[in-house]
Amino acid sequence: MNGKTPYEVPAQMRELAERNVEQARKAFDGFIGAARKAVEAAPGSAGFALFDMQDIGRKAIAYADNNVSAGLDLAQKLVKAKDLVEVMQLQSDFLKSQMAAFQTQLKELGAAAQDAAAKAAETANTLTKPK
């Protein structure tokens, strides 16, 4: 015996889980597509808008897409896992990659927010300067 506990999932259950993951992926793809269209359709400025929220909206949607896709990819891998050790390794790898992605996303959103604030301040200064 190799010391590994088998992780046997009946074939029918595995097939059902795979179909459910694929259906969830298709549903989310439809949702994310609609969200992208909504962000693109939103006006870039409202009245004399001080900053462009579309860029931040695009980034947030891209991050959501990436994060949910990573979760769905994990679900597909878990369905195919052979034993508990593999399940734990997949989960560990997923958590590490998601933490790294989260850090990157926070940095990028912070930079985008700072840019938006700088543009807002610049626009406000331009509008309030006497002619």
Q: What is the largest CA-CA distance in the chain?
A: 86
- Quote the pLDDT of residue 52: 64
Instruction: Count how many domains the chain has.
Output: 1
Q: Is residue 80 domain-resident? A: yes
State pLDDT tens for residues 20-64.
Answer: 888 888 888 888 888 888 877 766 544 334 446 777 888 889 999
Q: Is residue 1 domain-resident? A: no
Q: Is residue 60 domain-resident? A: yes
- Quote the pLDDT of residue 115: 83
| Residue 2 burial class via C-beta count within 10 angstroms: exposed 0-12, middle 13-18, buried 19 and up | exposed
**HSE, side-chain direction, 13 A CA sphere, residue 71:** 10
Instruction: Tell if the pTM clears 0.75, that is, is over it.
Output: no
Q: Is residue 2 domain-resident? A: no
Q: Is residue 67 domain-resident? A: yes
Judge whether residue 84 has pLDDT over 70: yes
Q: Is residue 65 domain-resident? A: yes
For residues 60-87, give the mean pLDDT. 92
The mean pLDDT of the chain is 81
For residue 51, how many other CB atoms are within 10 A of its CB?
Answer: 20
Judge whether residue 125 has pLDDT over 90: no
For residues 84-113, give the mean pLDDT. 93
Q: Which residues of 56-86 are buried (b: 16+ CB within 10 A; e: fewer)?
A: bbebbbebebeebeebbebbebbbebeeeee
State pLDDT tens for residues 5-14.
Answer: 566 767 788 8
- Quote the pLDDT of residue 3: 57
Distance CA 66, CA 20 (A): 19
Q: Is residue 6 domain-resident? A: no
Domain that holds residue 60: 11-128
Q: Is residue 39 domain-resident? A: yes
